């Protein structure tokens, strides 16, 4: 048994301090996972009505940084809210590890370093905004902004994960300009879909606390808007898929688009079921997980429409990237 197996921390230290292309990409993937995971745990805080389990910020109570007995909050709610705050340190740790590995990598790749540097900044902004949600007693607009910060942080995280597996050649489009624009439009519509989802949640019963303010919108109307955006997302994906097949786009691009369509259909099914069942907490949590995975998938589609060539591996024979020849729109 090797020392690395006996001491996993040594392997993690080496991955950060003496990174290889593979270990850097693995750290980038871990950052993507924990940033998606914090969306789900944040949703659990709302679904269990624990949003004000800690009554202030950055302390949990006016007297203590950690939960202490309080007549105003149950120990369970305090533990859930404090646990979610604690998980922020895991996300921040992942971001710092990625940044350290990108800095230590040789040769140092400037664009990877910038993408890595954005991640701890985003996590700190997310933590500060989380404090604002508590200080405003879970105002729905502030809570919606807190949720949407996570997809924003995921953009450089996913970009770093993708770029860490590519080379540094000039960008080459793998599809025509119109298809690349369509993939970008798909990212925009998906972002609008997620914003609409936060408005639905802020209007519905899961506001994080019984005392929390809610949007005054008609829940049926905002749900319909959310549903229409969901169908628009599916329609754009189908159009993109058809065009990718018609133009003979590279297999990797088509696979990403197929994965996206499958996720959209699954997410839509969960959404309709939860609506007709009265939005049970378990299905809402699953829907939030689906939103995070769907966002990652749509970003991967966009990044798959271009390449920077294969990653240079010492001693390997250079190979042409799949589908390096641009395709017509």
Residue-wise pLDDT for 280-316, tens only, equals 989 999 999 999 999 999 999 999 999 999 887 655 4
How many helices (DSSP H) and strands (DSSP E) are in the chain? 10, 2
Q: Each residue of 52-108: pLDDT tens digit? A: 888 889 888 888 888 887 777 788 888 889 899 999 999 999 999 999 999 999 999
Q: Closest Cα to residue 174, out of 232, 278, 65, 253?
A: 253
Residue 73 DSSP label: B
CATH code matching the domain that covers 170-309, chosen among 1.10.3470, 1.10.260, 1.10.3210, 1.20.120: 1.20.120
Judged against a pLDDT cut of 50, whether residue 37 lies above it is answered with: yes
Q: How confident is the model at residue 321 (pLDDT cuts 50, 70, 90)?
A: very low
Could you tell me if residue 314 is left (phi over 0), alpha (psi between -120 and 50 degrees) or otherwise beta? beta
User: What does the domain layout of the chain look like in residue ranges?
Assistant: 15-66+73-168, 170-309
pLDDT tens for each residue of 120-170 = 999 999 999 999 999 998 999 999 999 999 999 999 999 999 999 999 999
pLDDT of residue 313: 65
Query: Could you tell me whether strands 306-307 and 172-173 are parallel, antiparallel, or unpaired per DSSP bridges?
Result: antiparallel
CA dist 200 → 48, 180, 221 (Å): 17, 31, 9
Query: CA 164, CA 267: separation in Å to the nearest integer?
Result: 29
301: tokens are 């589609």
3-state SS assignment for residue 214: coil
Judged against a pLDDT cut of 50, whether residue 325 lies above it is answered with no
């Amino acid at each position: 048994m090797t020392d690395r197996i006996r001491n996993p921390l040594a392997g993690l230290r080496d991955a950060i301090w003496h990174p290889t292309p593979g270990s850097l990409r693995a750290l980038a993937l871990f950052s993507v996972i924990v940033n998606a995971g914090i969306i789900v745990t944040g949703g659990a805080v709302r679904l269990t009505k624990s949003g004000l389990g800690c009554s202030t910020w950055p302390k949990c109570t006016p007297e203590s940084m950690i939960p202490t007995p309080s007549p105003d909050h149950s120990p369970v709610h305090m533990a859930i809210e404090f646990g979610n705050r604690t998980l922020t340190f895991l996300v921040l740790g992942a971001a710092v590890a990625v940044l350290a590995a990108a800095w230590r990598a040789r040769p140092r790749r400037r664009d990877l370093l910038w993408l890595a540097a954005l991640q701890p900044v985003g996590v700190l902004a997310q933590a500060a905004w989380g404090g604002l949600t508590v200080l405003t007693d879970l105002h729905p607009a502030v809570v919606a902004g807190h949720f949407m910060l996570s997809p924003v942080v995921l953009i450089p995280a996913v970009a770093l994960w993708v770029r860490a597996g590519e080379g540094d050649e000039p960008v080459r489009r793998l599809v025509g300009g119109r298809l690349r624009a369509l993939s970008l439009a798909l990212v925009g519509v998906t972002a609008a879909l997620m914003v609409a989802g936060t408005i639905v949640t802020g209007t519905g019963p899961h506001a994080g606390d019984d005392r929390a303010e809610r949007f005054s919108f008609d829940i049926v109307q905002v749900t319909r808007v959310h549903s229409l955006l969901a169908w628009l997302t599916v329609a754009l994906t189908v159009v993109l898929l058809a065009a990718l097949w018609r133009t003979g786009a590279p297999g990797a691009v088509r696979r990403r688009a197929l994965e996206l369509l499958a996720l959209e259909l699954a997410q839509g099914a969960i959404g309709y079921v939860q609506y007709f069942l009265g939005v049970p907490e378990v299905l809402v949590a699953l829907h939030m997980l689906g939103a995070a995975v769907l966002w990652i998938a749509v970003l991967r589609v966009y990044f798959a429409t271009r390449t920077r060539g294969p990653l240079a591996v010492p001693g390997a024979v250079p190979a042409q990237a799949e589908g390096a020849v641009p395709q017509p729109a």
